[in-house]
Structure 1
Amino acid sequence: MAKILAVTNQKGGVGKTTTCVNLAASLVATKRRVLLVDLDPQGNATMGSGVNKQALSASVYDVLTGQKEAVDALVKSESGGFDLLPANGDLTAAEVQLLELPNKEKRLSYALAKTASKYDYIIIDCPPSLNMLTVNALAAANGVIIPMQCEYYALEGLTALLDTIQRISRVLNANLKIEGLLRTMYDPRTSLANEVSSQLVNHFGDKVYRTVIPRNIRLAEAPSFGMPALAYDKASRGAVAYLALAGEMLRRQETPLKQESA
């Protein structure tokens, strides 16, 4: 069964979508089968994966509202090599519609259960707010990755997010746990970044990934070409960092590949 990871932070602009697209591509490079779920109405993960969000015949909106099965809405990211459950502006309407549907917090969980056996990893890109879409992601996941910049307000926002995850774990999903904290857009030349980084490690210990994602122009450019950094410039520091993150994740938690144990 797939490991389902929600990538979330209630603060925007922390590299959440960049992490989703590039981690998905990096896991594919290690021969894992990956599904990326775009749960943000902005559809940035969809566009960053090389899929036109304006030309979708079906999206995650149709899946959440029960009009389509997940398998009928999947598209392939040719640049990333992973399957994608795409999103566009239609998803904004789902936030309201979900409130009137039965099992509103578990719609994504039920939808993914039917296709999870096809994948080793399912990565969910959450919107930068705590709404019904984020609740669906956390109810479906068994791990949470929290990307964050090492800046002044980062720790304050982190406390609120951890409280949210605890509540979801208590009420909706007892299997939910923090998978790891990921330092993004990291610039080791600033004393503030180093200070916040040290505070994170002191407080969360090995929950903080050793891998740090640097500020990198190639990472910033790649989405405009509809590619993960690995396809855009595999030698860039950003691409190498996400490959290292995938390797660190696999060393932490993975059982042998099915074909190896067969």
Structure 2
Amino acid sequence: MNQDATLLAALLEDDPNAVQSRLPTTVEVHGLSLYPATIDLAIAEAQLLAKIGRERRFSNILSRLPRAYDYVLIDSPPSLGTLTVNALVAADAVITPVATRFKAVDGLPGLTRMVNELQWVKPSLGFAAFLPTMYDQRNRHDSDVLDIIREQLAPLAPVLPPVRYRAADHNDASMSGQPVQVYKPGSEAARDMAQVVTAFLELKGQPA
């Protein structure tokens, strides 16, 4: 995929008023308008460090999109680097996937501290929901961790229904480049995702 299809040029543009002209055309797929990502976006991680307003670059991009959207989902890297900080500053709230593994729970305090610190930049930033993933209801370990997630995180934000571990369905759907609901409609994996979306929309007072 050509890096011109990504937001790299817009992120690194020094003139805020020229950002809109650097936006690529969205990819329209499965009812979504998508700005895809490639490994080339890793270039921005280092280059943004030298930029003025580096933590607000993505927020500026969102304010200049050529059309309005009901929801904008930002899939940030699984790290606490410059791109993730940009995503958090641009976001209204954070949906946090949490694998039902003790190591995943151990990493949450770092994310929580970052969200708290970023409230100096964006006081309204907070958690919208936590999403338990990789869940195997047959495994005692997973059930114990899910209980811990609900106990520790519910005071911060609602905990959504868990997404069960369905390796074949999720991996095959990813390889085909399709959402699991499109790749294998009616499957348990598709039903899990539909349940999560319904629960989230109900939290926001939106019809499912």
Q: TM-score with structure 1 length normalisation?
A: 0.71
Q: Which runs of 4+ in 1 moved over 6 A?
A: none
Residue aligned with 1:196, SS: helix
Which structure shows the higher strand fraction?
A: 1
Quick one: distance in 1 between partners of 2:135 and 2:94?
20
Q: Map of 1:135-214 to 2, 5 A cutoff?
A: 135-169=85-119, 171-205=120-154, 207-214=157-164
AA aligned opposite 1:174: P
Structure 2 residue aligned with 1:65: 12
Structure 1 residue aligned with 2:58: 108
Structure 2 residue aligned with 1:28: none
From the CA coordinates, give the structure whose radius of gyration is larger.
2
Quick one: distance in 1 between partners of 2:187 and 2:174?
14
Q: Is the 8 A contact 1:70 1:115 kept in 2?
A: no
Structure 1 residue aligned with 2:32: 82
Q: Is the 8 A contact 1:151 1:196 kept in 2?
A: yes
Q: Cα 1:191–1:255, aligned 2, differ >3 Å: closer, same or farther?
A: closer
Quick one: distance in 1 between partners of 2:192 and 2:21?
31
Quick one: distance in 2 between partners of 1:251 and 1:70?
37
Cα deviation code 1:209-249 (max 9, x no counterpart): 34110111211211111111111011111211111111111
Residue aligned with 2:39, SS: coil
Q: How many residues align?
A: 202
Which 5+ residue runs of structure 1 have no aligned equivalent? 1-53, 258-262
Residue aligned with 1:109, SS: helix
AA aligned opposite 1:88: T
AA aligned opposite 2:147: S
Which 5+ residue runs of structure 2 have no aligned equivalent? none
Quick one: distance in 1 between partners of 2:21 and 2:160?
34
Quick one: distance in 1 between partners of 2:179 and 2:206?
26
Q: Percent identity?
A: 28
Deviates more, 1:131-140 or 1:117-126: 117-126
Q: TM-score with structure 2 length normalisation?
A: 0.88
Structure 1 residue aligned with 2:197: 246
Structure 1 residue aligned with 2:178: 227
Residue aligned with 2:131, SS: strand
